[in-house]
Amino acid sequence: MFNRNRPLRRVAALASISSLVTGCGVLSSDSSDDAGPIEVGTTSAPSTLDPAASWDSSWELFRNIYQTLLSYPTGATTPQPDAADNCRFTDTSNTTYRCELRSGLKFANGHALDARAVKYSIDRIGKINVNGGPAGLLGSLDRVQALGDREVVFHLNKPDATFPFVLATPAMSIVDPAKYPDNALRKGHGVDGSGPYALAGYEDGKKAELTKNDNYQGYADRKNDAVTINYYRDSAPMVAALRDGELDLAFRGLDPDDVVGLQRHDSDGQLQLVEGSGTEINYLVFNPKDPWAGRAVVRKAIAQLVDRAAIAHKVYRDTVEPLYSMVPKGLTGHTTGFFDDYGDPSAAKARTMLTDAGITERVPLTLWYTTDRYGSSTKLEFQELKRQLEGSGLFTVTLKSRPWKTYVTGYQKGEYPVFGRGWFPDFPDADNFIAPFVGEQNALGTPYPAPEITGELLPRSRGVSDRANVVRDFEEAQRILVDDARLLPLWQGKQYVAASEDISGAEQALDPSTIMLMWTLYRKTSW
């Protein structure tokens, strides 16, 4: 066994010291200093500036420049009012959801933000219906009603207690009707939102310049006047810029080697690393139409062989944790089903499974991964999977890869026997780690009917507002996923923020939906 705790102690100590000192008032924030904008680096560049087109990493920027009815204040794990003054279901069946807006809301350009703007923003998502866009989140929405200037009513076509979580996603950002066409995406790099910041400048794939929006009304307590987000393709140049003082902070996309280097604090005390729990997951998908991957016994033999701890340790250097369920640790309803059923990796048990099914020769299998979506460690991860499976003497594995754009097309066409995917949640609820992957049409492009899950467990759970009371439904759904072994969870990620010792507020910037909140950051002005 390896000691996973040792390299993390310094990270925890750094975070704790920073929090302690800030709490004692020795450090203070001063958003009016002359040091210029806080320079942030990330590999998570937006693909669009229009919320109606985005169901991806663009949400990172949207959270800071647009506003939603509900959001997640620091420390909250359930949606709380933002542009709304209050929201609630007004019936016992969870089919009518009412929100009252704050009084006097304005967009950054000075235009009024009223109930009609909210209705317009939500309606255009479904009307434009971008392929792969956020319209898929609105499956339970029947219609939106604007009553007067401040009241919005959402009428649902079925009970859905997760609807407040959907409204809290940046996909539901409120836009200025005068600036965004109702039947097409907005062209160019203009943004007219009502978030904590206005977008003062934008270079596609390079940087976004954020300045304080003086018209903002919401929960965000801004600790700075301006932030510039710099976009990088790889971790190494981003970390180099941080070490050279060109950046104040870096997040998302940090490679394991860079994280470990920062954990060792080999930067002469000039940098701090803050670690937070994360809900990103990584998993394998098996194609039921493939002659080998389509056989349950083959999938279960692979489940019996995969050594998640070795992947987490050897490939990711303990910057991720082994995952034994599609619902990650930390969410209500999480289980350890794959460990409970399979225990430790065992070639002997896997061999018995296959021979009992009449399979005595090595099983030929092709595993696919993408080259440019989840970081440079993905290739190493699949090489380790190949080593594990072939080392058992039971499989002959071929590895193949493609860039993301063509990779997506391939798995949607059913070309891959087994392929890797990652998932950043739309919202922190177990529903969002089960529902997107099942059904004839799902986020994987690989049909997975699972009628008990789609027809009974999910609808029943969505009728319950108190999510603590749906644990049994989610546990049963995960049991079905384990029995089918159509999806094989591998690891759960963590969130890391690397920052200059002059920056504070990074601990509060880690959103429960894995989004970075720029307004919590500030420079330390005294010791």
**pLDDT tens digits along 274-323:** 888 788 999 999 999 999 999 999 999 999 999 999 999 999 999 999 99
- pLDDT band of residue 374 (cuts 50, 70, 90) is confident
Is the CB of residue 184 less than 8 Å from the CB of residue 451? no
The least confident of 30-39, 283-292, 385-394, 396-405 is 30-39
| Predicted local distance difference test score (pLDDT) of residue 266 | 53
pLDDT exceeds 60 at position 372: yes
| Predicted local distance difference test score (pLDDT) of residue 22 | 36
| Predicted local distance difference test score (pLDDT) of residue 156 | 97
pLDDT exceeds 50 at position 15: no
pLDDT exceeds 70 at position 17: no
Kindly give the pairing relationship between strand 271-286 and strand 487-500: antiparallel
| Predicted local distance difference test score (pLDDT) of residue 382 | 98
Rounded Cα distance between 205 and 260, Å, is 27
484 Cβ contact partners less than 8 Å away, ≥ 6 residues apart: 296, 299, 450
| Predicted local distance difference test score (pLDDT) of residue 5 | 31
Rounded Cα distance between 77 and 284, Å, is 28
- pLDDT band of residue 444 (cuts 50, 70, 90) is confident
pLDDT exceeds 60 at position 425: yes
pLDDT exceeds 90 at position 418: yes
Q: How many CB atoms lie within 10 A of CB 315?
A: 20
- pLDDT band of residue 30 (cuts 50, 70, 90) is very low
Task: Output 17 or 491, whichever has higher pLDDT.
Answer: 491
User: What is the reported pTM?
Assistant: 0.81
Cα-to-chain-centroid distance, residue 319:
16
Half-sphere CA count of 71, side-chain side, radius 13 A: 29
**Taking residues 166-170, what's their average pLDDT?**
95
**DSSP element (H, E) containing 391:** helix 377-391
The least confident of 96-100, 114-118, 252-256 is 252-256
pLDDT exceeds 80 at position 396: yes
**Numbers of helices and strands, H then E, in the chain:** 15, 19
pLDDT exceeds 60 at position 271: yes
Best mean pLDDT range from 51-55, 73-77, 133-137, 227-231? 227-231
Average confidence score pLDDT of the chain? 89
